[in-house]
Structure 1
Amino acid sequence: MSPAVSRDSRSLLAPLVLVPLIVAFALWAFAWPAARTEPRDLPLGVAGPPAATEQVREGLQQREGAFELHEYTNEAQARDAIEDREIYGAVAVTPSGPKLLTASAAGPVVAQTLEQAAAHMAPGGGAVRTDDVVAAPPEDPRGAVLSASVLPMAIAGVAGGALVALMRLRGTRGVGVLLGTAALVGAVGAGIAHSWLGVLTGNWWAEAAAIGLTALAVSATVAGLEALLGTAGIGLGALIAVLLGNPTSGMTSAPEMLPEPLGTLGQLLPPGAGGSLLRSVSFFDGRAADTPVLVLTVWAVLGLVAVTVGGIRRERANPAEETPEPRRVPATPVSAAG
């Protein structure tokens, strides 16, 4: 077989193998978490005297592995823990019966799950009294818009990083463009989600910074991988941000509702960390934002360093390309005197 025929065979075989693999990976990443969504060590509080809450604890512990119980002496402490994002909700034992505290802003699906889990606690088979401590905004009561915002942030980051890579922007120029693009993405995102749609209700500048940092983490990663690996780095960056990061972000439910290790992995990737950060600054006054900020900063810094290193390597490998030779001006012939 001639080398030309062998190359043609490989080029035909590549899509036949790669496309099914990509589809299988996408179905695994998106369908598996959706089909296995249920609480797994979901932080839940129990408030009241130990003797009074014993029956509540026993009832919740019957769902083995579903809840990670935190005990509080009174309802006020449980409310503070919910507002600090230490727990998703709590069951407070009061003289008039159990009372469920939820936070639909932390995840409407989680709030519904807690209501279902506490349904059997109501005296006489009635409904459990529920108090939404941190409610989702009226414009987005089911959290659908906030959940849907993760994918556009990831796509914006991939697009920005790919453009910087394809335009061969390296070094300080590449870093400057990535930073400027991220800042503009943050402003546009906050302008749409906060100022227009009203689905974000926190500090406008903090929300813009959260969206911009998320976009920067993705775009810097894509551009950095391209600087180190070539064109294949763009595909790898897109795979990390979109095909893996988006479905494992936990924004449609909660990280503790996803099968492990996807719940933990998702919070270590830019979309999951960015979604958690945006939720914190929008509804919880920035509480529990330190870990997402750290994760996004690490991704952004590593990507920007890779872009800078790629620029240095390119300058050393092609010095003539970076420093063009001065243009030669042809000499003007001097005419002889008549």
Structure 2
Amino acid sequence: MAAVVVLVPVLVALALWAFAWPAARTAPHDLPLGVAGPATATAPLEQRLTQREGAFEVHRYADEAAARDAIEDRAVYGAVVVTEQGPKLLTASAASPAVAQLLQQAVAEQTAATGTEVPTVDVVAAPGTDPRGAALNAGVLPLALAGIATGAVVVLLGLRGTRAVATVAGATALAGAVAAAVTHSWLEAVTGDWWAVAGVFWLSALAVAAAVAGLGTLLGQRGVGLGAALVMLLGNPFSGAASAPEMLPEPVGTIGQWLPPGAGVSLLRSVSFFDGAAATGPALTLTCWAALGLGAVLLAGALWERTPDGSTPNDRTPALTG
């Protein structure tokens, strides 16, 4: 009874810290932003942008074409181009509608003294059916829950070895297809090749399910709880799906990209809107989670098969599982 009384407030405090703290501290932190044009013309603008210490990571480009290429390659979220007619703002709402809006406000503040209205060009626009990215943001939690449920069921049913791996792969593949059917075919909230999008959803769910199943196989029910907590209490709020990793306080944004939900969102944006640009990093992150988790499941299955009495590794290591 005393343990419950103490544990519940601790869990509430942990959840509030994980969800509320990043949301309350949302602001640009070394947000990549381009400045294009002649050095003499861009120097004053660059100086004003860097006055907001730690807010923007300014990248210099020779002209508008180079800045557009950088945006399409996901090197920067936007760029201010200084032309003879005045400054122009390039954004990419597909990368983050919240950041695109932030850049418009920031540039407007910088040019307010001159009374100049800065035209905005959305280089890579978000779909008209989901201009604020709400559907993409909402899709993070169901995929995480699908992965957690799959991994937990595999552990609770006592599946091991290749049977466990096949179950995890098959269930998450179906989950990925359903997610693609809803977000791509029905809601049209994501674009790009349907099979590529379905593959991203599958890999995202697979990484979560494999991690939960691997920890559960090694540590029993404690491992399932640990994997679920890692994904729900850290991966979900640290993913940056509603804004961008650079909009979260450090090191939250970086940690979030190392976890499956954050890597999954980044990979989905790259594949869906940017023709695969900057997809290598998040794809490798998800692959590592999937490989390590499934590797643990196969290893535990091999050890179980070699045990003469049929006991599991958890049965023979009570100190680890309680």
TM-score of the two chains, using structure 1 as the length reference: 0.90
Match of 1:56 among 45, 52, 58: 45
- 1:105 alignment partner, SS class: coil
1:289 corresponds in structure 2 to 279
Match of 2:304 among 295, 300, 314: 314
Match of 2:118 among 128, 142, 151: 128
Find the aligned partners of 2:184 and 2:79 in 1 and give their Cα distance. Answer: 29
Matches within 5 A, 1:1-338: 12-119=1-108, 120-121=110-111, 124-317=114-307, 319-320=309-310
Structure with larger Rg: 1
- 1:115 alignment partner, SS class: helix
| Alpha-carbon contact 1:122-1:128 (below 8 Å) kept | no
2:317 corresponds in structure 1 to none
Alignment gaps of 5+ in structure 2: 313-322
Find the aligned partners of 1:135 and 1:51 in 2 and give their Cα distance. Answer: 31
Between 1:79-88 and 1:19-28, the stretch displaced more is: 19-28
Find the aligned partners of 2:12 and 2:306 in 1 and give their Cα distance. Answer: 40
> What root-mean-square deviation, in Å, do the aligned CA atoms of Structure 1 and Structure 2 show?
1.3
Find the aligned partners of 2:114 and 2:288 in 1 and give their Cα distance. Answer: 53
CA shift at 1:316, angstroms? 3.1
Q: Deviations over 1:79-117 (max 9, x none)?
A: 000000000000000111000000000001101110111
The residue type paired with residue 174 of structure 1 is A
1:9 corresponds in structure 2 to none
| Alpha-carbon contact 2:200-2:267 (below 8 Å) kept | yes
The residue type paired with residue 59 of structure 2 is H
| Alpha-carbon contact 1:101-1:132 (below 8 Å) kept | yes
Find the aligned partners of 2:70 and 2:125 in 1 and give their Cα distance. Answer: 15
- 1:296 alignment partner, SS class: helix
| Alpha-carbon contact 1:187-1:212 (below 8 Å) kept | yes
CA shift at 1:17, angstroms? 2.2
Find the aligned partners of 2:197 and 2:41 in 1 and give their Cα distance. Answer: 42
CA shift at 1:138, angstroms? 0.5
- 2:94 alignment partner, SS class: helix
The residue type paired with residue 166 of structure 1 is L
Find the aligned partners of 1:234 and 1:321 in 2 and give their Cα distance. Answer: 20
Q: Deviations over 1:49-92 (max 9, x none)?
A: 10110111011111111000000000000000000000000000
CA shift at 1:243, angstroms? 1.2
Between 1:311-320 and 1:44-53, the stretch displaced more is: 311-320
TM-score of the two chains, using structure 2 as the length reference: 0.94
